[in-house]
Chain A
């Protein structure tokens, strides 16, 4: 058990950093196309949403598919999502806008797609900050878990940010919306089932 945990997390982190590695490689070899800054922003945003969805999929993956290792890499997936989101925001402010603060403030206050993106990032900050075991203990599991349900709001915000950014082709934002919506439904349905059915053996032990 302990050995599998020690392998799953580093493996998830290593795999999760592959897109970042590919980005660096493409940047060095001219593989980012004619508008590299846009390409970097698009890819970082895509991977933020992908890892957010993957983190939300951890519990359903265990409950429905029996993948008992999935919840163990949830924290790594969430932190990867935060990392890509932070890189996305840093690239927007530092490279795309080149620290043009008036333009950035105008964007955040006047452009709803950037306002939503920024708010989504702010939602992720407390989740990343309280991702340690120490914070679970400090907050108590119930409150910690309630706080981390914000991940669903962040995922929804990310989808809205994506959808408002594209001109008319909503296919990809719609795919993310469907996946994240389905994951939310999956979490709501078993919760109802659990509340009506007698608790299965072992379900009263806290799941961390």
Chain B
């Protein structure tokens, strides 16, 4: 009888890739055990909701890792669903993103009321990974799913008088119970100059993380302008209007000295009540420096050539 029976074969050897990750796997197992003991830790659910296909993927956050699904969909400013960061996810159940109609009017040659699914069929959806910097000095990287706003603007053909385009959020206290309190003048309106709107970085998003937008992120359609503070990104849009004069925008109207019309991310111009020089990326311990135009200066600084960005903040 052989002392050493060759019952271990090559296939029994732990693959090197797994072996190299052994500590990681141990940690994962430990985390799982802790998670099983403590239900609060089990909140890290993955993406959920209807899947949306993306025709292509554009990485535009300097290779940085997107925030987790939990961060992106569980820490939101959407006052129409409550003013605490966790409120929108908790209250999103009342928002019904279908059926949904978007009115496109004002200075356009083809004003229309468009069903959301028709609107989404006009353009191929693409994933775009952008940095998102909130005016409250926190930030997160988000894998949005949508299409360039400029494609929509060109399709609806603004008249020569159109200089601005505004985005209005649904006004319906049944669906958006936060509107029962006059925290802000409802409905929420945000706006861009036309040249900002047709800039290739501006997008309308219908999804995040490959899924249809959850209510708390502004289902079924929201604005994303990555070089501006997050509040410019109007959510749950029901109206896109083209105007000759600068629209009255919500935060600017509520506190003009604190929130400018442009709201470009600018570390050199502080909010009157706090510094904008640094930001905390969700999931990170130390604050990091805020970049001019949120890191998109090379692409967009030209839009503001010759402008006093402290006055036009």
Contacts and interface: CB of A to CB of B under 8 A. Distances in A.
A38 B85 CA distance: 11
Given A30-B43, A34-B71, A38-B138, A168 B184 contact: yes
A164 B258 CA distance: 12
Contact of A112 (B85, B273, B286): B273
A30 B183 CA distance: 30
Interface in A65-118: 95-98, 100, 103, 106-107, 110-113
A37 interface: yes
Contacts of A126: none
Given A33-B74, A35-B282, A103 B275 contact: yes
A169 interface: yes
Contact of B273 (A29, A95, A113, A169): A113
A120 B86 CA distance: 29
B214 to A, nearest CB: 14
Interface in B182-241: 183-184
B180 interface: no
B299 interface: no
Interface string A148-186: 000000000000000011011101000000000000000
B4 interface: no
A167 B274 CA distance: 11
A29 B85 contact: no
Contact of A35 (B38, B43, B280): B280
A138 to B, nearest CB: 41
A104 to B, nearest CB: 11
Secondary structure dominating the interface of B: loop
Contacts of B136: 167
Contacts of A103: 275, 277-278
A31 B277 CA distance: 29
B312 interface: no
Contact of B74 (A26, A34, A97): A34
A26 to B, nearest CB: 7
Nearest to A32: B40
B287 to A, nearest CB: 7
B286 A33 contact: no
Contacts of A33: 74-75, 85-86
B75 A34 contact: yes
Interface residues on chain B, size class: 35 or more
A171 B181 CA distance: 10
Nearest to A39: B85
B138 A111 contact: no
A117 to B, nearest CB: 12
A30 B282 contact: no
A26 B273 contact: no
Contacts of B283: 34
B290 to A, nearest CB: 13
A113 B74 CA distance: 27
Nearest to B282: A34
Nearest to B231: A167
Given A26-B40, A30-B43, A35 B184 contact: no
B280 A98 contact: no
Nearest to A30: B41
Contacts of B280: 35, 37-38
Contacts of B278: 103
A29 B40 contact: yes
B10 to A, nearest CB: 41
Given A30-B44, A98-B287, 12 more contacts: A29-B38, A30-B40, A30-B43, A33-B74, A34-B67, A37-B280, A37-B285, A103-B278, A106-B275, A111-B275, A169-B183, A171-B181
Interface of A: 26, 29-31, 33-35, 37-38, 95-98, 100, 103, 106-107, 110-113, 164-165, 167-169, 171
5 contacts: A38-B280, A95-B285, A107-B275, A168-B79, A171-B181
Closest 10 CB pairs of A and B: A34-B75, A169-B83, A31-B40, A34-B71, A29-B40, A29-B38, A30-B41, A29-B41, A34-B282, A169-B183
